[in-house]
Amino acid sequence: MIVTGLSLETLSILVGSVAALHALQLFVDFRRLLASIHHLPGYRTILGSSTVLGNLFPPIPLLTLGHDHSWLSKHGPFAEKGLDIISTAAWWPKAVGSLLIADVNVIKDIVWSRGERFPKPLGKYTILTFFGENIIVSEGNEWKRYRKIVAPAFSERNNRLVWDATIQIMLDLFDTMWAGQEEVVVDHSVDLTFPIALFVIGAAGFGRPISWKEDTVVTLGHQLTLKDALRTVTQDLTIKLLVPRWAMGLTKRFRRARLAFDELHQYLKEMIHERRGSQYEDNNDLLSSLLSANDGDNLSKSEVKLSDSELIGNIFIFLVAGHETTAHALSFAFALLALHPDKQEEMYQHIKRVLPDGRIPTYDDMLSLAYSSAVFNEALRMFPPVCIVPKTSAEDTTFTLTDANGTLKTVVVPKGLDLTLDVPGLHYNPKYWEDPFTFKPERFLGDWNRDAFFAFSGGKYLNIFLGTSLKMPIPIGYRGCVGRKFAEAEGAAVLTILISRYIISIKDEPQFVGETYEQRKARVLDARSILTLAPTRLPLVFRRRT
């Protein structure tokens, strides 16, 4: 018994010693981390925000920043510290730090650097590779290979197709689902914008036009519609990432997620198979362009065709990026117009001036319908689809910027440090956006700081002259969003045709009687980030104009 007691005591001492040594090592590493960034002001927490455990909690001082820290805080932390670069340092499970950046010149330096100075940490994008490698989860020569193949799919001809498909989808909505109704109530805006965006990407992207009446019909050989499969997949990506395959049958939600992933994978394979069996050279849609660009006859001897897995992976990314981000942006745009009826009326009058005869707008009208594009851009500024863009410093370097007092500051960046381009911090930075919390579409009608608008990632702009004195800013950036014009054409078309025929308002609900305007605004504009930033619940009413 004595021996056993001594053994347990010895074991306890040993375990305690190991724990103490580990804690000491963590402390030393943490202090070393702070020293490496010269104790740049910022956040000090126990849990790293990039860890699963750190993301389970809401923001708790000293414990974790939480998952939606950048969105919830916007430019506040930078204003508090008086500098548009602040640091984060976490102690457990290992000492890890990062820089949060909301300075436009530093962000430009990072985005436009050549030679892999600030590469994308691909390990953080694993969640987007379930269906195959793709353009988002790539760097260097691999990214250039993907870009060369997919770029022809986003042509001016395809943008025109996007506009025409969007207008037709909206007219179909008015003439079928909303026919004979003076007032249409939508309990949550995404129940409307999600199918709109999916139908557009289906028609203009993959040659699969879907009518509103057909939307509820499950395709032969499937258990879910494409819309339901895609929506479940985007909502439950983290389940797929964290739950092993053998455990996916344990709960109803897990089983639904497993089915959705299997169904979507089957839909994507069918798209490729069907299109390969047809003549797609004369089609303008994205899938035809993608397959055509990937044909052996269109590739040089040194270029490698995309595998089926890579094709499916890229199509999945375009489906997600081409519908979810636009659906959410349109939802926020609807809400902002409903909350600001004066801006909605200004937009309506603008449309009437461009289309005095009430005709259907065409793609050639897009440049003239500037207010529609301005509303879409302002919604993207205030509610950026992606709130953080992670990078890594591949070398020891420094950033130079001015603080709130105009004093030049130098920030030391050690090799290997994580960098976070803080999009809400940039979009709500008063240095670049006057009165940033106010909905002002007109800020996008004249000259504006294009470098401080990061909804489509970074990119320089080239002013392309289109016939008259009109100029269109075209992104030519190193890694700017290849589908930017696709989204802009869709957003402007939806807003134009909808506002020309309907007035949007917030749905009145008895449980919210007596709330102030500010309370209502906070409620309907509440958002959370899942895969992209999404409205929590946004009830709307659409009343036909007389």
- What are the binding residues? 481
CA dihedral over 394, 398, 400, 401, signed as positive or negative: positive
Alpha-carbon distance 187 to 524, whole Å? 11
Q: 412: helix, coil or strand?
A: strand
Which pairing describes strands 540-544 and 183-186: parallel, antiparallel, or unpaired?
antiparallel
Write the single-letter amino acid at 148.
K
| Residue positions forming the annotated binding site for heme | 481
Q: What are phi and psi of 185, to 5 degrees?
A: -105, 130
**What φ, ψ does residue 284 adopt, rounded to 5°?**
-100, -5
Cβ neighbours, 10 Å, residue 261: 20
Report the relative pairing of strands 96-101 and 85-92 from DSSP bridges.
Answer: antiparallel
Residue 310 and residue 169 in contact, taking contact as beta carbons nearer than 8 Å:
no
Tokens standing for residue 28: 């030393």
Start-to-end Cα distance in the chain: 93
> By C-alpha distance, which of 507, 499, 503 is closest to 523?
507
Start-end of H helices in 201-307:
206, 226-235, 237-242, 252-276, 286-293
- Cβ 523 vs Cβ 515: under 8 Å: yes
DSSP 8-state class, residue 450: G
Measured CA angle at 352 (ends 349, 354), to 5 deg: 115
- Let me know the angle formed at the C-alpha of 12 by 8 and 15, rounded to the nearest 5 degrees: 135
Q: How far apart, in whole angstroms, are the C-alpha atoms of residue 337 and residue 540? A: 11
CA angle, residues 113, 98, 70, in degrees to nearest 5: 95
Nearest of 499, 506, 458 to residue 482 by alpha carbon: 458
Q: Radius of gyration of the chain from Cα atoms?
A: 25
The type of residue at 86 is I
Give bridge partners of residue 535 from the DSSP assignment: 527
Crossing angle between the packed helical segments 286-293 and 140-150, to the nearest 10 degrees: 120
CA–CA distance, 350 with 346 (Å, rounded to integer): 6
**Cα 350 to Cα 368: distance, rounded to the nearest angstrom:** 9
Within 13 A of 260's CA, how many CA atoms are on the CB side? Answer: 20
d(CA 154, CA 146): 13
Q: Distance between CA atoms of 105 and 122, rounded to whole angstroms?
A: 24
